[in-house]
């Protein structure tokens, strides 16, 4: 689960939306998304590059030259130009956040939504298709199912779409009934005399 600073996130959204707008103009939304993902993965694997790129002690021109050398010709012009703009504003440290924001916007635009599904037993392909159908009907979006096995649920499903969690597992139902019973019990205990002979009321 991403843990970006709130301030970084809002800044990243600004850059991501401009990049998205330009990409749409040129019809390059998909490739840009893939390039960003690759870039983010590369930076993730080698933190020293990130440090170098975001360090204020390195001269802005030096960084510009380096970026040109590293990426021009190997990545799309759109990506390299965006990186140069980020560099000029001293925001190269935001690349990971920009990727995250772009990805979210892209999915949103494509009408796709990531759905996390936990089940006690593996879902068969027809069951997965049925689930996608229902989600499409309810949200109008294509579901990208992230399946996970959790035998602790005993039975049933737990489906999470964004913030909404739908828990139809047997474990949850047992928990609900246990809570109802214990609440009822604590209320009834107020009149203990009804249930125990010889108890003081």
User: Which residues within the stretch 2-61 sit at the binding site for another protein (CB under 8 A)?
Assistant: 3-4, 6-7, 9-10
What does the angle CA 175 – CA 165 – CA 1 come to, to the nearest 5 degrees?
A: 110
**Beta carbon nearer to another protein, 75 or 96:** 96
Torsion of CA 76, 77, 81, 83, to 10 degrees: 20
Q: How far is the CB of 7 from another protein (least distance, A)?
A: 8
| 149 forms part of the interface with another protein (CB under 8 A) | no
Nearer to another protein, 45 or 191 (CB): 191
Tokens 């050398």, residue located: 69
| Residue 160 CB neighbours (<10 A) | 15
> How many other C-beta atoms are found inside a 10 Å radius of the C-beta of residue 82?
23
Q: Specify the residue, 1 or 73, whose C-beta has the smaller distance to another protein.
A: 1
Beta bridge partners of 145: 115
- In sequence order, what are the residues at sequence separation of 6 or more whose Cβ sits closer than 8 angstroms to the Cβ of residue 136? 142, 143
Size of the site for another protein (CB under 8 A): 33
Looking at the Cβ atoms of 31 and 93, the one nearer to another protein is 93
- Tell which residue, 141, 139, 117, 120, has the closest CA to residue 128: 117
- Return the bridge partners of 112, or none: 142
Dist. CA 94–CA 83, nearest whole Å:
10
Among 21, 59, 198, 201, binds another protein (CB under 8 A): 198
Site string for another protein, 156-195 (x = CB under 8 A): ----x-xxxxxxx---xx--xx--xx--xxxxx-x---xx
Q: How far apart are CA 14 and CA 67, in angstroms?
A: 21
Q: Please identify, among the stretches 58-66, 108-116, 130-138, 155-163, the one whose residues bind another protein according to the rule CB under 8 A.
A: 155-163
Residue 147 or 180: the one with the smaller Cβ distance to another protein is: 180
Pick the binder of another protein from 1, 56, 137, 152 (CB under 8 A): 1
The contact set with another protein (CB under 8 A) reads: 1, 3-4, 6-7, 9-10, 160, 162-168, 172-173, 176-177, 180-181, 184-188, 190, 194-199
């Amino acid at each position: 689960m991403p843990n970006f600073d709130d301030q970084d996130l809002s800044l990243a959204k600004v850059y991501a939306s401009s990049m998205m707008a330009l990409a749409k103009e040129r019809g390059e939304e998909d490739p840009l998304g893939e390039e960003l993902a690759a870039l983010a993965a590369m930076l993730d694997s080698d933190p020293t590059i990130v440090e170098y790129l975001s360090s204020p002690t390195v001269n802005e021109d030096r960084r510009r030259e380096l970026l040109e050398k590293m990426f021009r010709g190997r990545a799309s012009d759109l990506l390299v130009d965006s990186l140069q703009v980020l560099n000029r504003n001293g925001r190269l440290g935001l690349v990971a956040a920009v990727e995250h924001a772009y990805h979210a916007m892209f999915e949103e635009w494509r009408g796709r939504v990531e759905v996390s599904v936990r089940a006690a037993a593996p879902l068969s392909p027809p069951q997965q298709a049925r689930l996608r159908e229902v989600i499409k009907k309810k949200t109008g979006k294509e579901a990208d199912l992230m399946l996970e096995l959790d035998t602790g649920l005993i039975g049933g499903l737990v489906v999470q779409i964004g913030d909404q969690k739908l828990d139809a597992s047997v474990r949850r139902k047992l928990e609900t009934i246990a809570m109802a019973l214990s609440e009822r019990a604590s209320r009834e205990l107020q009149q203990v005399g009804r249930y125990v002979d010889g108890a003081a009321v």
